[in-house]
Amino acid sequence: MTKIFLFDFDGTLVTEDILDVMCDIVGKKEESIELKNKVLHGFVQGYGPLCTRINFLQGVTYQQMKDKLDENNYLRDGVVELFKTLNDKGYITVVSSGNIEPVLRYYQELLNITYVFGSKPDMDGDKILGISESSFRSHDFKYEACLDVIHQYDEEEKKVYGVGDSAVDISMLSLADVKFAIDPKGGLDKHVDYVIHDMREIIDYLD
């Protein structure tokens, strides 16, 4: 049986919004937080605020981001242990996020994640050039990225797991046979099978 595990990123694998942390490299952390909060409270919609936050990072290199995350990777308790177990058991792991792919690449290398999908800024080598709203292929690219991976295994018997932390993860988690919420917000707890507070708790539910 093919076993696939879908993960949200910010607030799920990590305790902070890592885009805010990256914006601290250029002294724009507070502006990033303010824009994020306007979206969370419904004052603005669409990908414009996310693009603005990413564009704060113009000129920042992957090495600068890596150095910042080497100081503190903000991983939730139990994440390292969970991914070691998933990799040992042969799970396909998928992280889908609005965060930028250079950040996700850092965690992919750290945790041996099979697939990562995120926002795709234009790059000059490892240097961020910027991003526009046209870079987002749909209103729910997190869901579609996970669906694309699942469809690769349509001819096989499979079981899909998923975990998120907020209501924006509901559509992605709809793809999972077994759904988890970690410290859920926005009513996500009503859409999952299990509520957890430490990622190690998931290990007991794995096949």
The CATH number covering residue 110 comes to: 3.40.50.1000
pLDDT tens for each residue of 94-129? 999 989 999 999 999 999 999 999 999 999 999 999
Alpha-carbon distance of 67 to 123, in angstroms, equals 18
Q: Which residues constitute the domain of residue 124?
A: 2-15+74-205
Q: What is the mean pLDDT of residues 172-198?
A: 97
Q: Is residue 117 part of a domain?
A: yes
Q: Is residue 96 part of a domain?
A: yes
Amino acid letter, 20: D
Q: What is the mean pLDDT of residues 51-63?
A: 96
Q: Is residue 180 part of a domain?
A: yes
Q: Is residue 140 part of a domain?
A: yes
Q: Which residues have a Cβ under 8 Å from the Cβ of 59 and sit 6 or more positions away? A: 26, 127, 128
Q: Which residues have a Cβ under 8 Å from the Cβ of 138 and sit 6 or more positions away? A: 144
Tokens describing residue 54: 């990413």
Tokens describing residue 151: 């469809």
Beta 158-164 vs 178-182: how paired, if at all?
A: parallel
In order, the DSSP letters of 5-22 are EEE--BTTTBSS-HHHHH
What's the pLDDT band for 180 if we cut at 50, 70, 90? very high
Q: Is residue 55 part of a domain?
A: no
Q: Is residue 175 part of a domain?
A: yes
Q: Which residue has the higher pLDDT, 50 or 40?
A: 50
pLDDT at 44 over 90: no
- Report the domain count for the chain: 1
Q: Is residue 85 part of a domain?
A: yes
Q: Is residue 93 part of a domain?
A: yes
What's the pLDDT band for 138 if we cut at 50, 70, 90? low
Q: Which residues have a Cβ under 8 Å from the Cβ of 110 and sit 6 or more positions away? A: 73
Alpha-carbon distance of 28 to 22, in angstroms, equals 9
